[in-house]
Copies of this chain bind each other. A is one copy, B any other.
Amino acid sequence: MAVFLSTYVNKVDRKGRVSIPAQFRQSLAKTSAPSTVYLWPSLNHQALEGADQDYLDVLSESLESPDLDADERDMIETFIFGKLIPVSSDAEGRIVLPKELAEFAGITEEAAFIGRRKTFQIWEPDALKAHEAALREQVVRKDISLSQIVAKASRGAAGRSGEGA
């Protein structure tokens, strides 16, 4: 599965095309469908989410889980798979941002790609800045630190040791 890191801001031309950051493309090259990315509107932000085929396969599988209640499944089917748009890149590594998605995220002239490991997001650059500012405030308020999180997670993993990778 591809890994997406860093933030890149690229221009959207009047046909609605954007270059996928070269780093993302290199990552996508290792996946089962290198020239296809899947886009959908974020459940929680005015932004787009993106992932590769392999991630979607995992997600699709997790929907088969009997632990998931019917309402949640219905929501995911409607809001993720119902909104999911497979987008294939051209020879230059560009994709066309579907109109309804661009509108949803308020993207017009520029698009900010932000890597989130297994997925990435696409934001309107100013909206991203605002979002980051708000998040940073929370970090300060809640006094979150990285070392703390790592410590907490490894404590939890020790309790569940032997669980899948």
Q: Interface on A for B, CB 8 Å cutoff? A: 5-7, 23, 43-44, 49, 58-63, 65-68, 71-72, 74-86, 114-117, 131-132, 135-136, 138-139, 142, 144-146, 149-150, 152-154, 156-158, 161, 163-164
A157 interface neighbour in B7, B43, B65, B158, Cβ under 8 Å? B65
B65 in contact with A146 (CB, 8 Å): no
Stoichiometry (number of copies)? 2
Whether A117 contacts B44 by the Cβ 8 Å rule is: no
Contact A135 B75 (CB under 8 A): yes
Q: Are A68 and B164 in contact (CB under 8 A)?
A: no
In the bound complex, how far is the Cα of B148 from the Cα of A68, in angstroms?
Answer: 11
Minimum Cβ distance to chain B for residue A32 (Å): 14
A75 contacts which chain B residues (CB < 8 A)?
135, 138-139, 144
Q: Check A67–B152 contact: CB distance below 8 A.
A: yes
